[in-house]
Structure 1
Amino acid sequence: MTHPMTLWIAIGSIALISFAFKAVGPAVLGGRELPVRARSVISLVAPALLAGFVVTAVAGPGWTGLDPTLLAGLATVVVLRRRGAPMPVTLLGAVAVTALLRVWIS
C-alpha cells in the first residue's frame, strides 16, 4: 500500500502547484481573461490528480491490496455530501469511520 505520508506530500504539492498557477496567471496575462475552455481545464487539473491519488491509495499497488476501510470512508463522504453536509464535517466523518473500522478490524 502507498505510504500515507507520500499521499499527503502529493496532495500538498498539488495544492501548491494549483495556487502557483492561479497566482501567476494574472501577472502573465496582464489583466486579460483566459478563454473559457482554458479556465475550465485549469480548474479541473487539481481535482483530477487528487482523484487519481485517491484511487491509487485505495486500490493499492498493482490493484491487489484493496483496503475495505478506505472504501467505507469514501462511502461516508458520498453519503454525507449527498445529504448536504459541509466539507469539514464530511472529512471528519470519513476519517472517523475509517479509523474506527481499522481499530475494530485490528
Structure 2
Amino acid sequence: MTPWLAIGAVALISFAFKAVGPAVLGDRELPPRARSVIALLAPALLAAFVVVNVVGAGWRDLDPTMVAGLAAVPALRLCRAPLPVAILGAVVVTALLRLVTG
C-alpha cells in the first residue's frame, strides 16, 4: 500500500507544481536547464519506485532473474527495439532464466 501512497503523493505534488507554475511565472519561461531537470524528475521517480518494488526494502527480496529481465529492456531499446518488443523481451528473459534455474 505504501508505494501507491507515494505514487499518489508524487502525482499530487506534480499537479500542484504544474498548476502553481503559470500563476507564479506568468508569461515568463523557465530556463532550458530548469525545464530539462523538471522533465527528468518523473521518469527518475518511476525508476526508483520500480527498483524499490523489485529488490524490496534493504535488498532482501532481490530476485536476480527479474533484475536480468529488467536489464533486457534498456539493452533492447539500445538496439532500437520498440517498447512493446522490449517489454516482451524482458518477460521472455525472466521466464527462461526462471526455467533454467528451477
Shorter-chain TM-score bucket reads: 0.5 to 0.7
Which AA in structure 1 matches 2:61? G
Change (3 A) 1:88 1:10: farther
Residues in 1 aligned to 2:70 and 2:32: alpha-carbon distance in whole angstroms? 32
Greater CA deviation, 73-82 or 25-34?
Answer: 25-34
Question: Residue in 2 aligned with 1:93?
Answer: 89
Question: Residue in 2 aligned with 1:33?
Answer: 29
Question: Residue in 2 aligned with 1:47?
Answer: 43
Q: Which of 3, 20, 37 is residue 15 of structure 2 equivalent to?
A: 20
1:83 aligns with 2:89: no
> Structure 2: where are the runs of 5+ without partners?
none
CA contact (8 A) 2:73 2:90 kept: yes
Change (3 A) 1:18 1:84: farther
What's the C-alpha RMSD, in Å, of the aligned pairs? 3.3
Deviation at 1:84, TM superposition (A): 0.9
Percent pairwise identity: 50
Using the size of structure 2 for normalisation, the TM-score is 0.66
CA contact (8 A) 2:70 2:90 kept: yes
Change (3 A) 1:69 1:103: closer
Deviation at 1:67, TM superposition (A): 0.5
Change (3 A) 1:33 1:79: same
Asked which structure has the greater CA Rg, the reply is 2
SS in 2 for 1:20: helix
